[in-house]
Amino acid sequence: MKPYLSVIIPAYNEEKRIGQTLTAVYTYLAAQSYTWELLIVLDGVTDNTVSVVEKFANGKENIRWIDR
């Protein structure tokens, strides 16, 4: 099913901030009555942002991430 809302978060070397950001956005979206998806786009990160995002997204159907 196509979601009503898609939230796209670009991230580049955000290891220290991305966890807090994802938690806040996910908490808000999870409380909504409409369908949604959260897409995190990583492009050329050189820190541990990928690991943080991967761990956060694990087991959550509405979250996808792309590492380009």
Nearest C-alpha neighbor of 7 from the set 17, 21, 19: 21
CB 15, CB 39: distance < 8 Å:
no
Can you tell me whether residue 58 is helix, strand or coil? coil
- Helices and strands in the chain: count of H runs, count of E runs: 2, 3
The predicted-structure confidence for 3-54, as pLDDT tens digits, reads as follows 999 999 999 999 999 999 999 999 999 999 999 999 999 999 999 999 999 9
> Can you read off the two tokens belonging to residue 48?
């541990």
If one counts the domains in the chain, the total is: 1
Q: What is the pLDDT of residue 53?
A: 98
Banded model confidence at residue 62, pLDDT cuts 50, 70, 90: very high
Q: What is the pLDDT of residue 68?
A: 83
Q: What is the pLDDT of residue 12?
A: 97
pTM recorded for the entire structure = 0.91
Q: What's the one-letter identity of residue 51? A: S
Question: Where in the sequence is the domain holding 52, given as residue range(s)?
Answer: 5-67
